[in-house]
Amino acid sequence: MLSALWDRLVTVQPHPSLVLVMAAAFVAACAVGPSQVWRLTRGFVTIAHEGGHALVAVLSGRRLSGIRLHSDSSGLTLTRGRPTGPGMVFTALAGYVTPSLLGLGGAALLAGGRPTALLWGSMLLLPCILIMVRNVFGILSVLVTMGILFAVSWFGSSDVQGVFGYLLVWFLLLGGVRPVFELQAMRRRGRAPDSDADQLARLTRVPGLVWVGFFLLFAVGALVLGGRWLIV
């Protein structure tokens, strides 16, 4: 069984047709664009966002207290350590860039013809988040995501895995862009005084709007680059 799984992970699979790739992009755009749909799908981006905070916090020497994922698709990562310094800066910086980074990494795997490796890699990252989630809704959200990835990667045909992989990566790339606009809209209305951008502003004395601009530039750049890898 293990040898068969390994063969599936390392075997290069043929790329889907351009029509299927663009169809996946369209479906992903429909999952990100309309507000009513986005309320249901945004939670998957939140998992990546909070996972990014958590990973960088641990790598920078901070102590991770827990992650909370809420039904309104918001999230919170609690860490302990110095309230200032590079560790705190990189921890605050990581959230908004992580979905785009994951999408870019996924695009590289798909460009190399390895959708199964993409799905299993994504699924194996989630238990690391699950053990740190501290509320029931968050645990259920992560378990459901793991279940979907497992079902597709284990029971789906190569074609199904390929199309789903492209859908997932397009969703991450597009889903990395929209939250930045939402962030600035909330800041403009004074509803996000402790947002990542405002925390970075207090830590670095660089205006929060500059950090929002950086988040947007990074997300759009990842979308353009990842999109080129996916459609070539």
pLDDT digits (tens, 9 = 90+) for 133-161: 999 999 999 999 999 999 998 888 888 99
Q: Within a domain: residue 84? A: yes
Q: Which amino acid is at 93?
A: L
Helices (H) and strands (E) in the chain, counts: 10, 2
In DSSP terms, 76 is beta-bridged to 68
Q: Within a domain: residue 7? A: no
| Averaged pLDDT, 45-68 | 96
| Averaged pLDDT, 9-14 | 77
Q: Within a domain: residue 1? A: no
Report phi then psi at 122, rounded to 5: -65, -45
Give the structural domain span for 115.
Answer: 17-231
Q: Is residue 3 over pLDDT 90?
A: no
Distances (CA, A) of 73 to 25, 40, 194: 22, 8, 17
Residue in 154, 129, 139 with CA at minimum distance from that of residue 9: 154
| Averaged pLDDT, 55-61 | 95
Q: Within a domain: residue 3? A: no
Count, residues in the chain: 232
* pLDDT-wise least confident of 70-84, 149-163, 171-185: 149-163
Total tally of structural domains belonging to the chain: 1
Q: Which amino acid is at 86?
A: P
Contact between 178 and 217 (Cβ < 8 Å): no
Q: Within a domain: residue 223? A: yes
- Report yes or no on whether pTM surpasses 0.85: yes
Q: Within a domain: residue 217? A: yes
Q: Within a domain: residue 9? A: no
Helix, coil or strand: residue 69: strand
Q: Within a domain: residue 53? A: yes
For position 4, what pLDDT does the model report? 63
Q: What share of the chain is helix, strand, coil (3-state, %, to 5)?
A: 75, 5, 20
